[in-house]
Amino acid sequence: MTTTPLRLGTRRSALALVQAGYVRDRLSALGHEVELVEITTKGDVSMAPLDTIGGTGVFVTALREALLDGRVDLAVHSLKDLPTAPADGLVLAAVPEREDPRDVLCARDGYKLSDLPVGARVGTGSPRREAQIRALGLGIEIVGLRGNVDTRLGKVADGTLDGVVLARAGLARLGRLDSVTEVLDPMQVLPAPGQGALGIECRAADTELVQTLGALDDPATRAAVTAERTLLAVLEAGCTAPVGAYAEAAEGESGLELYIRAVVAARDGSVSIRKSATGPLGGAEQIGRDLAHELLADGAGAVVDAAGPASKEE
């Protein structure tokens, strides 16, 4: 039993606090006292498009600074927000079991994506979602959107939008799955790398805490997100281009295997490059790297470059 409470840094949003509460409860079950320390990030205080306020890392930097200067002992992130480059002095100590990472549509009148009339207005803050929905050729108008879950759903309720696309994981954690009208098939819309997973960081020098947090790590989830994030890193997209990836662990002929699908798409939907790969669970990093090189060989680099400083996944 720890004598001094572990200080867990978290963003102040409702979803972030739920996620932090989950980590706190897991640690409490192991006999550790935990107190939440709320940290305001740049991404929380500005409603400007994410590309104009820094893109990748806007929800992470303040938490990492709090770790490095000793204000908190550990921090929990939505893993899709975490830059792929490692941070000096910090370690990703645990990746707990992942929530369902798929995207969902929350639309008026119970509509599914294919039921929406031509010209229907669908909101999303994600260039990845925008690119893949446009590629479906349904004639849907994509409207830029930021804000918390309630704000976004409110745009549908008040008639401003016909629907919004969100991550199922966030709605599940908030108890809002009743708003979902369709879970989007990854064959049509692949989620963001790391979507649905949490990342728990601490200082690398706190070896005892690193070991403690290791009890929360789920090896299958760790392998899946490692493949997805390695792919993203090799593409040098850094979450700034419309890139989707989804890896799953499944029983194969010789034990657990990792199956990953990925897409790099032009934001206007004019180009969509999709690839998949399978390999041993222990080779997650290599699988992600090899698949990224296959995408690059098919022209993904030009798509990434053309996307420029698009707003980061949200």
Which residues participate in catalysis according to the annotation? 81
CB-CB contact of 22 with 51 (8 Å): no
Rounded Cα–Cα distance for residues 194 and 184 (Å): 17
Q: DSSP label at 281?
A: G
CB-CB contact of 39 with 12 (8 Å): yes
CA distance to 60, 108, 264, 273, per residue, from 314 (Å):
13, 22, 17, 22
Sort strands 103-107 and 182-183 into parallel, antiparallel or unpaired.
antiparallel
Report residue 202 CA to chain centroid gap.
19
Rounded Cα–Cα distance for residues 156 and 149 (Å): 11
Rounded Cα–Cα distance for residues 292 and 149 (Å): 32
| HSE-up (13 A, CA, CB side) for residue 87 | 21
- The helix or strand, by DSSP H or E, that contains position 289, with its residue range, turns out to be helix 284-297
| HSE-up (13 A, CA, CB side) for residue 221 | 18
CB-CB contact of 101 with 49 (8 Å): no
